[in-house]
Structure 1
Amino acid sequence: MKTTTAPVKAANGIAKGMTREEKKVIFASSLGTVFEWYDFYLYGSLAAIIAKQFFSGTDTNTGFIFALLAFAAGFIVRPFGALIFGRLGDMIGRKYTFLITILIMGASTFIVGLLPNYATIGITAPIILISLRILQGLALGGEYGGAATYVAEHAPDDKRGAFTSWIQTTATLGLFLSLLVILGVRTTVGEEAFAAWGWRIPFLVSIVLLGVSVWIRLSMNESPAFAKMKAEGKVSKAPLTEAFGQWKNLKLVILALVGLTAGQAVVWYTGQFYALFFLTQTLKVDGATANILIALALLIATPFFVIFGALSDKIGRKPIIMAGCLIAALTYFPIFSGLTHYGNPALEAAQKNSPVIVTADPNTCQFQFNPTGTKKFTSSCDIAKAKLASMSVNYENVAGESGSVASIKIGDKILTSYDAKGLSKEDAAAKDKAFSAELAADIKGAGYPSKADPAQMNKPMVLLLLFILVLYVTMVYGPIAAMLVEMFPTRIRYTSMSMPYHIGNGWFGGLLPTMAFAMVALKGDIYYGLWYPIVIALVTFVIGMLFVKETKDNDIYATER
């Protein structure tokens, strides 16, 4: 490994307290990233309202699907943002690159708050909205790598995990802030006004956050590692070619993805996003209660990002991340079963006492993975399974005769599904309404609750389980920034670390809810979707333990690895 001589500060590791400049670096980088995540999560939290505002030219279900598609676009383009801004960061510097990313992110979010809806400007509204979402995703793809690299390159050698762990708190704090603002505006203006115009306020508020972030970042200096490299004339002229065109570097990128970030991502999204999805969509807990419980769990667990980051400076990054992946994989099933037991005991009882059987021709049943929201599942089998999955009903699959129409047996009752292929839009809607109503009535008669009963919910135990899920997040996420920065040489660090991080989090993590729902619908078990994060976390554990090397003692100023 080729190394360069580090400045006295880094070599001596001045770690006896944090200087004023170091505090400023962490605060400015973390604050800006909090604001960026706040902007990004607003859209996901308000997807249902945005569907009505910008996709009202379609039916309700299709509108919501397109709203989710627009949200997914922000995740899908994140690796491309990593390429674009990672290259800039390695060529022109960390400071100015992640100043650009926050300007793009903040401006895009503010414009969403001003954007006329479908009723005002027609099809132009959703086109502009999706374009803004793509810009947000590209900006976020460049922001994280810049912030993590910038902080790490300012940190003393023996405090790098502690320093960068503050960046790791930002995604959680950004989600928490977005939920807090939405809840505050909703409570102040009322539900009707919020649905009509109040939803715009959280987007418009971001302009203030943007102004503060830009003002602080403009006053910051370039990172010492990049400044030293630039002074020595060692800046990469082709960071993309170096990072991905040379096997010695590409190998590190691949290991960072499958041996670190893929597992980290699914644990992160399971503990925060999927837990919220499970509470609201599967357990039918009302949205306000679910958001408050998640927010409290995040608030209580957030300090552990810094605790595990600091611990990684002492015992290493790898043991903590690997332990988080393994423990999460081994305990997800009992934890989510516990959420059902304490969050909606009536649903748990119905699942035990009222078994449901779906009989269908296996050849007509598809795996309903639909990340783009554009595919239609029209067979009688797909319709029956999707409806039951959305109603949180466990069911047994029985193979029916070839060409037969799927049926659902609930106790002594048998309900025949329908095939929507070839039906007009109006006929399909009418069939869907009638079938859904009859199925809902039969399910309710079998004891399945339409929503969780607040009086039966054990909120302290639900909160404890949510806290444990977020604690796993802090284990895998707290040390990850320091480890990724340390894996790669200075000259291609921004580019190299950003790509595996955003493929892992944008694709493996971002697609988790969609994949999990498809798996639940396929198997007929509300917990079956957990196999997705469990398998990926275990793969990361095995590959990470075998092939990924500890990084905490690597020279941050090295231009080669």
Structure 2
Amino acid sequence: MESTAAVAYAPSRESQVKVIAASSLGTVFEWYDFYLYGLLATIITAQFFSGVNETTGFILALAAFAAGFAVRPFGALVFGRIGDLVGRKNTFLVTMGLMGASTFAVGLLPSYASIGVAAPLMLVGLRLIQGLALGGEYGGAATYVAEHAPEGKRGFYTSFIQTTATLGLFAALLVVIGLRTWMGEAAFAAWGWRLPFLLSAILLGVSLWIRLQLQESPVFQKMKEEGTTSKAPLTEAFGKWRNLRLVLIALLGAVAGQAVVWYTGQFYALFYLERILKVDGGTANVLIAIALIIGTPFFVVFGWLSDKIGRKPIILTGCALAAILYFPLFGALTEAANPALAHAQARAPVSVVANPATCSVQFDPIGKTTFDKTGCDIAKSALAKAGIPYVNEETPGDPVVMVGEVQIDIHDKASFDAMLTPALEAAGYPLKADPAQTNTVMVVAILTVLVLLVTMVYGPIAALLVELFPSRIRYTAMSLPYHIGNGWFGGFLPTIAFAMVAASGDIYAGLWYPIGVAALTVVVGLLFLPETFKRSIDHQH
């Protein structure tokens, strides 16, 4: 039932378009900033983590990427509270300014070679500022747009915000691809990687100018005039069981699954192509970009559909399909992108035969361990560095590595490395994916399916979260589960998945993490998540 107050404050169609455009453009810019880091992870590893070994450096770079995610829930608390106390519009402007300044500063940072360990520490500091700002951004944009939308169209209106993460990634991809092509790989890796960060200053200026044109949201304006805004949004949102229960249900029954599906489909797929299937970085970016162009309109399609049939069935179906399809999809991706690797795996599987007690986990956060104390460590370190999948077999005897039927004894690191490389080459293991053998059409088709799963879970989520919580604490209450889900469950996915792959030797082991979380969300969502698509937007309790 639409309230008379909401009707009185309903804005004109022209201003509704402006609201969507301004909120979405600003959020596109913020995601552009955030994604640049992920796309340039390999170069940033070389620039800021060059004093550590390659595998650890890459995992550390991913962890620094995740540092921005770690603080996002705290940003949600800080800026969500301000948004419920002071208003949606002004909070927007602060988060954008912080985001833009910290991104620009990344482009100016000296490298590890220049100032040593201070470089990665400064980088992580800037990532933390970005994460705090982003923690306040999304809830503000979703709340602002939803509170302007007419009844029955909130899914459609807010779905445009859901496209912003993908459009931001796409903008970052275009800039990175364009600069790499124009400058050449050598110049881009040396100094050109700074340009995408520095160019963000132009986007910041445009976005701030657009947002300054906006008015306050009608629902917040109405609460302010009536004196019904919350005096203590944090206490009200999380200190009352009725609201806290909704926060937990939103997190586990919707957002956690949405987050892992999103990060698997857009981030893990890119890392998987580059690091595990050894597809050239530029080519991998182009393939992901094509899939995003095809898939992005479906954010709006599923947002619109959620206004007709509800938010819950679309989100939970997307999570369930992801849990069922990930293993076959990534298996098919291996076959299509690097068939030589798939065939070598099938024809001459690699196994490390060793006593498990002599094997370390192949992850060293400090970067000082050489993994050469035992035969098992020597073997696993060499295989992880080469990106070769392997299985573990137990033996009480001396460790050996089997490449198909060929046995390699492990005496010391130098002799093992000297024997491993020719054995892998003889078994057909490729150093890189051969572009001539890559089935590009099939790769794009698989990546598009992954993106479509993202659009199913992500398209309706903003409308669901806005409708779930009372208007007086909405910014605070919806921001926290969104950013715990996307910041922690999603943001740490690449790091967790790669550590699982490095530890087990199984290139598919990392998929167990998103599959498990998506399955949990389906169960919790079916049991506890209410349907919200027919609710009024301005309920205060």
What band does the TM-score fall into relative to the shorter chain? over 0.9
What is aligned with 1:492?
473
Alignment of 1:109 with 2:103, yes or no, is yes
Aligned length: 539
- For 1:10 and 1:365, the matched residues in 2 are separated by 69
Cα 1:437–1:95, aligned 2, differ >3 Å: closer, same or farther? farther
Cα 1:384–1:92, aligned 2, differ >3 Å: closer, same or farther? farther
- For 1:243 and 1:136, the matched residues in 2 are separated by 25
Cα 1:377–1:78, aligned 2, differ >3 Å: closer, same or farther? farther
Deviations 1:528-558 (A, max 9, x none): 3212111211110111011101011122101
CA contact (8 A) 2:6 2:219 kept: no
Alignment of 1:483 with 2:481, yes or no, is no
What is aligned with 2:176?
182
Shift of residue 477 of structure 1?
A: 0.2
Deviations 1:247-302 (A, max 9, x none): 11111111111100111011111111111111111211111111101000001100
- For 2:51 and 2:367, the matched residues in 1 are separated by 16
Alignment of 1:20 with 2:31, yes or no, is no
CA contact (8 A) 1:151 1:164 kept: yes
CA contact (8 A) 2:347 2:404 kept: no
Shift of residue 328 of structure 1?
A: 1.4
- For 1:485 and 1:338, the matched residues in 2 are separated by 38
Cα 1:139–1:440, aligned 2, differ >3 Å: closer, same or farther? farther
What is aligned with 2:212?
218
TM-score, with normalisation over the residues of structure 1? 0.90
Alignment of 1:399 with 2:380, yes or no, is no
**Could you tell me which amino acid in structure 1 is paired with residue 5 of structure 2?**
P
SS of the aligned residue for 1:158 comes to coil
- For 1:139 and 1:418, the matched residues in 2 are separated by 52
Select the residue among 486, 494, 516 that pairs with 1:513.
494
Q: Equivalent residues in 2 for 1:95-244 (5 A)?
A: 95-244=89-238
Q: Equivalent residues in 2 for 1:303-322 (5 A)?
A: 303-322=297-316
What is aligned with 1:422?
none
CA contact (8 A) 2:16 2:148 kept: yes
Deviations 1:341-392 (A, max 9, x none): 211111111111112221222234455577x677958464455345435545
Cα 1:456–1:489, aligned 2, differ >3 Å: closer, same or farther? same
- Unpaired runs of at least 5, structure 1: 420-430
Shift of residue 215 of structure 1?
A: 0.5
SS of the aligned residue for 1:36 comes to helix
Cα 1:191–1:306, aligned 2, differ >3 Å: closer, same or farther? same
Q: Equivalent residues in 2 for 1:298-337 (5 A)?
A: 298-337=292-331
SS of the aligned residue for 1:115 comes to coil
Cα-Cα RMSD: 2.4
SS of the aligned residue for 1:415 comes to strand
Alignment of 1:280 with 2:274, yes or no, is yes
What is aligned with 2:403?
410
Shift of residue 437 of structure 1?
A: 5.3
CA contact (8 A) 1:35 1:209 kept: yes
Shift of residue 128 of structure 1?
A: 2.3
Q: Equivalent residues in 2 for 1:243-254 (5 A)?
A: 243-254=237-248
Cα 1:60–1:512, aligned 2, differ >3 Å: closer, same or farther? closer
- For 1:375 and 1:259, the matched residues in 2 are separated by 41
What is aligned with 2:48?
54
CA contact (8 A) 1:89 1:495 kept: yes
- Unpaired runs of at least 5, structure 2: none
What is aligned with 1:341?
335
State the identity %.
Answer: 63
Select the residue among 346, 354, 358 that pairs with 1:360.
354
- For 1:448 and 1:315, the matched residues in 2 are separated by 49
Shift of residue 196 of structure 1?
A: 2.1
SS of the aligned residue for 1:235 comes to coil
TM-score, with normalisation over the residues of structure 2? 0.94
Deviations 1:398-436 (A, max 9, x none): 2222xx6643111343334589xxxxxxxxxxx4x7655
- For 1:107 and 1:501, the matched residues in 2 are separated by 24
What is aligned with 2:522?
541
**Could you tell me which amino acid in structure 1 is paired with residue 431 of structure 2?**
S
Cα 1:307–1:386, aligned 2, differ >3 Å: closer, same or farther? farther
CA contact (8 A) 2:355 2:394 kept: yes
Alignment of 1:503 with 2:484, yes or no, is yes
SS of the aligned residue for 1:357 comes to strand
Deviations 1:233-259 (A, max 9, x none): 121121111111111111111111110
Cα 1:121–1:277, aligned 2, differ >3 Å: closer, same or farther? closer
- For 1:351 and 1:59, the matched residues in 2 are separated by 26
CA contact (8 A) 1:325 1:476 kept: yes
What is aligned with 1:447?
428
- For 2:122 and 2:79, the matched residues in 1 are separated by 23
